Structure 1
Amino acid sequence: MRRLLLGATVLLVAGVTVACGAPTDASKSDFCDAVEKVSKNASDYDKARDAALDLGDVGTPEGISDDAREGFEISIDAFDEAEKEKDLEKAQDDLSSDDKKKVEAFSSYIDKTCEQGGE
C-alpha cells in the first residue's frame, strides 16, 4: 500500500499529545477510509493536514500494538503542530530513533490493516 504522507512525511516530532485522547475503538473500515483521505490529499499540504487531523478524530482500531498506537499519536500531533509542510520536514530530523521506529510501526500497521480492505 502507499506509504502516503503518513509514512515518509510523518516521521515527525511529537509535541502536545492531541492524539492521546483519540478513540481506540474505531472500526477498521472508518480507520482505513480516514487513512485513504490523507493519502488522496498528499499533494496538497493543507488538505492533507485536515485529513490527518480527521484521522486523529477517528482514532485507531482495537488491537493496535502499543508502538503503532504511539506512532499514530506522534504522527497526528506533528500534523497538529505543523502549519507548513516545511515544518514537518524539519520535525522529521528531530525525531529520536525510538520515535522513528514507532512511526514505522504505525506505517506497517496501516499497510497490514488497510491493504486487507479494512473490516
Structure 2
Amino acid sequence: MFGKKTLAAAGLLAMTGAVAACGGGSSSAPAATGAAGAPSGATTSDFCGTFQKMANTTTPKQAADQLLAVGTPSGIAADARHGFEVLVDHLETLPDNAKSADLTAMEKGLSATDQKDVVAFTTYLAQACVPSTDSTPSAPSS
C-alpha cells in the first residue's frame, strides 16, 4: 500500500501537470535526450515504489535521477511516456529549492503538446500508483 510519501510525490507531479495545463507556452526548447533513454520496462511495483521512496526533502534533481533510473512500465501510453520524459528533463533543470514561480517559468517553455503529455503522465501516475478508494472495503456496520 502506498503511503503519504507516494501521495506527496504524486501530488507534486500532479501539481506540475496542473501548472502545465494552465496554458501559456506555445513553443518548447528541444528536450534533453536524458529521459528519452530511461528504461521502458519497469514493473509497476518498481515504478510506483520510486515515488513512495521520495521524501519531502527530495530535490527536483534527485527526483529526476530516481525517475531516470527506474523508467516507466512497458504498458504506458506513448503520450504519457513522452510526458514522463518532458517532466524529468525539466526537473533536472530546476533549482534544489524550487518554488511555484519556478514551475510557472518551466511551464512557459512547454509547447501545447508537451503540456498535454505531462497531464497524460500525471493521470497515468495517479491511476497506476494511487490506490482507488472505490475498492477499499467499508467498515462493517454494527
The TM-score, its normalising length taken from structure 1, stands at 0.79
Corresponding position of 1:4: 11
- In our comparison, the structure showing a higher alpha carbon Rg is 2
Return the letter of the residue paired with 1:113: A
**Contact preservation (8 Å) 1:79, 1:88:** no
RMSD: 2.5
Return the letter of the residue paired with 2:47: F
Corresponding position of 1:30: 46
Corresponding position of 1:95: 110
Matches within 5 A, 1:1-119: 2=7, 3-9=10-16, 11=20, 15-38=31-54, 40-41=55-56, 44=57, 47-49=58-60, 50-84=62-96, 85=98, 86-116=101-131
Return the letter of the residue paired with 1:112: Q
| Secondary structure, aligned partner of 1:17 | coil
Percent identity over the alignment is 38
* Large movers: runs of 4+ above 6 Å: none
**Contact preservation (8 Å) 1:71, 1:99:** yes
**Contact preservation (8 Å) 2:84, 2:118:** yes
- Cα deviation code 1:36-95 (max 9, x no counterpart): 334x42xx4xx2411232012100001100000000000100011222524433011221
Return the letter of the residue paired with 2:48: C
Return the letter of the residue paired with 2:33: T
Gap regions ≥5 residues in structure 1: none
- Structure 1: how far apart are the matches of 2:59 and 2:51? 10
Return the letter of the residue paired with 2:15: A
- Structure 2: how far apart are the matches of 1:104 and 1:75? 10
Return the letter of the residue paired with 2:122: S
